[in-house]
A = this chain, B = another copy of it.
Amino acid sequence: MPTQDQPSQADQSQSEQDWLAAYDPRAFTPVAVTVDVVALTLRQDRLHVLLVRRAGPPFQGCWALPGGFVRAGKEDLDQAAARELAEETGVDTAALRRVHLEQLGSYGAPARDPRMHVISVAYLAFAPDLPDPQAGTDAAAAAWVPLGGTAPAAGPHRGGPSSRSGPAGHPLAFDHAVILAEALDRARSKLEYTPLATAFLGPEFTISELRSVYEEIWGEKLHAGNFHRKVLSVPGFVESTGATATKAGSKGGPRARLYRTGDARLLHPALLRPDREESVR
């Protein structure tokens, strides 16, 4: 790999080897690296995020994003994120296959962790409705916690996990509230130009179910008729299975046709959000 032409090939290889042999990794002030995962799912048409309750300090007892230290020398960042997601929640690797996982960004303020300088690489996951998680080794509890859409959902004084958590209740550990907020922004944006909304659904779904994904994550009602036509007009977004749902909705209506995810990776043209005025300026 070190193809060189400046010093002679042999010279440079040799000196590089010498240097590597004398290299001491512990000479550097230590920095730790963690991965934290913002895993989103829909349960009963409500957006939920996966949180764990920290078993040990710092922030013991606080709710936090699932995550942990990267195993130095042993894994990629993507692998670490997948491992943490599996470990801390009991989601097995088969179910992980149906989960979309992508890097969100890195957070490295020196004081974000009281122990030492910890740099966290955040990941964003879109999951179909998964079983209730199992708490892993670092967590006293793990649960899908509802996010308030536009309006907070859970009351502030119940015993369950939805109270005292970040989204509807008390703040999250570290800077996880910031990470969660940026994850939600990213998620809302991803729905515009990718078909990832289908990652929240099962292998077969109706256009109405797909629409309710958009409505819950964007936090606004969409026009059913126009949405329907738009989805079918974007090449590769969904493809028909030919089948029809066995039951209609609880309020009646015709049985909807079923679709599965198409082969497009980008929506073209995109499915833009309704105008949020002159939002950011």
Contacts and interface: CB of A to CB of B under 8 A. Distances in A.
B4 A61 contact: yes
Copies of this protein chain in the complex? 2
Interface string A209-242: 0000000000000000000000000011000000
A149 interface: no
A109 B76 contact: yes
Contacts of A55: 1-5
A114 interface: yes
B281 A263 contact: yes
B109 A106 contact: no
Interface string A99-118: 00001011111100011110
Interface of A: 1-7, 12, 15-16, 19-20, 23, 25-26, 28-33, 53, 55-62, 69-77, 80, 103, 105-110, 114-117, 119, 121, 137-138, 140-141, 164, 170-171, 235-236, 263-266, 268, 278-281
Nearest to A53: B5
Contacts of A119: 33, 70, 77, 119, 121
Contacts of A107: 77
